[in-house]
Amino acid sequence: MMRLVAWGTLVLGCLYFLLPLLGMTEFSLKMRRGEYSLDAYRVVFADPRFWETFGYSLALSAATIVVGVVLVVPTAYWVRLRLPQARPFVEFVTLLPLVIPAIVIVFGYIRLYNTSSFLPLTGSAFGTDILLTMGYATLALPYMYRSVDTGLRTIDVGVLTEAAQSLGAGWFTILARIILPNVMVAVLSGAFLTLAIVMGEFTMAALLNRPAFGPYMQLLGANRAYEPPALAVIAFAITWGCMGLMQLVTRFAKHERAKA
C-alpha cells in the first residue's frame, strides 16, 4: 500500500514536470499547418541574433567560470586550512545571492559603477561585460563554493599542504599543482552549473543592456508564436546536457578511484 502511494506520488510529480515540456515540444513542432516539422527550429537557427547572443553568453559563461574558480578555490582552501571556525560565516555569505534578488544586485551595480562614479564600468561595452561577469560569478557563487568545498573534503588539505611546503613549494604552486587538480571534478561540476545559470540568466543582462541569450529568448517570446517554445526546448537541452556532463565527469572520477 505504502509502495503504491509512493509510486503514485512519483508518477504524479513526473507528469507535473513532463506534461508542460511535452506540450511545449509538441507545439514547437507545429509551425507547418497540419503536420509536424522542425520549421521553428530552422527559423531559430537561421536567425543570426541567435548565434550572436548564444556565443556572447557562452563567452561570458567561460569568463564567469574562470572568475569563479580563481575566487572560490583559494578561498575555500584557505578557510579549510586556516579558518575552520569561519566556515559557517563564509557559507552564509556564499548563500546570500540565493536570498537577494538579482535585480537588487544589478541596481546596486548600476548605482556604484555608473558613468559618473569612481569606477565608470557601465561607460563602455567591455566595462559592462566585466560587470556582468562579476554579477554572474556572484549568482553562481553558492553552487561553485559548495561543490569545491565538498571536493576539498575528500583530501587531507592540511597534510598535503605541509608535504608540499616541506618540499619547497609556495602558495601558488600548492594551489595550482596540488589543490586544484585534486578538486577538478568538483570544479567541473560547479562550472557546468555556472554555465547553465549564465545561459538562462535574464535580469542582469537585460538591465545592463547586453546582447545575451536570456534577453533574446524573452524578446523572441514576446513577438513570435512557434519559435519561443523551440528556443525553450533548446535551452532545456543545454541545461540537461550540462547536467549529463556533470554526471559523466563524476562517474568517470569514481571509476578512477574504484580501481584502487
Angle at the Cα of 18 from the Cα atoms of 17 and 24, rounded to 5 degrees = 110
Judge whether 167 and 63 are in contact, CB under 8 Å. no
| CA 134 vs CA 39, 59, 237, 238, 241: distances in Å | 37, 13, 26, 22, 25
Using rule CB under 8 A, residue 164 touches another protein: yes
Q: Is 111 in the site for another protein (CB under 8 A)?
A: no
Tell me the number of residues near another protein by CB under 8 A. Answer: 22
Residues 168-187 close enough to bind another protein by CB under 8 A: 168-170, 173, 177-178, 181-182, 184
Can residue 110 be called a binding residue for another protein (CB under 8 A)? no
Distance CA 176, CA 172 (A): 6
Q: What is the DSSP letter of 177?
A: I
* Closest alpha carbon to 147 in 96, 198, 94: 94
Instruction: Identify which range of 39-47, 59-67, 102-110, 159-167 contacts another protein by CB under 8 A.
Output: 159-167
Closest approach of Cβ 252 to another protein, in Å?
A: 14
Q: Does 159 participate in binding another protein (rule CB under 8 A)?
A: yes
Q: How many CA atoms lie within 13 A of 248 on its CB side?
A: 7
3 lies in the site for another protein, by CB under 8 A? no
Give just the sign of the alpha carbon dihedral 36, 17, 212, 192. negative
Which range of residues in 67-75, 135-143, 151-159, 192-200 is near another protein by CB under 8 A?
Answer: 151-159
- Quick check: 155 binds another protein (CB under 8 A)? yes
Based on CB atoms, which residue is closest to another protein, 88 or 168?
168
Under the rule (CB under 8 A), what is the footprint of another protein?
Answer: 155-156, 159-160, 162-170, 173, 177-178, 181-182, 184, 257, 259-260
